[in-house]
Structure 1
Amino acid sequence: MTGRAGAADEVLVRRLFGDHGGALVAYAIRLTGDRTPAEEVVQEVLARAVREPESLAGDKGAVRARLFTVTRRLAAARPRTEATEPEPAPAIDSVAVLSALEALPRDEREVLRALYFQGRDVDETAATLGVEAGAVKSRTYHALHRLREMVVAPLPGAAG
Structure 2
Amino acid sequence: MFKRSDESLIAKALNGDQSAWQQLVNRHQSALFYFGLRLLGSREDANDLLQDVLMVLCRNLGQYRGDSSFKSWLFGIANYRAMDMLRRRKYSDNDDELAEMPADNPGLPEQLASYRQQKQVQQQLRSLPAEQRLVLELKFYQQFTFDEIASQLAISSNTVKSRFYAALDKLRLQLEDDHVEQSANF
Q: TM-score range by the shorter chain?
A: 0.3 to 0.5
Larger Rg: 1
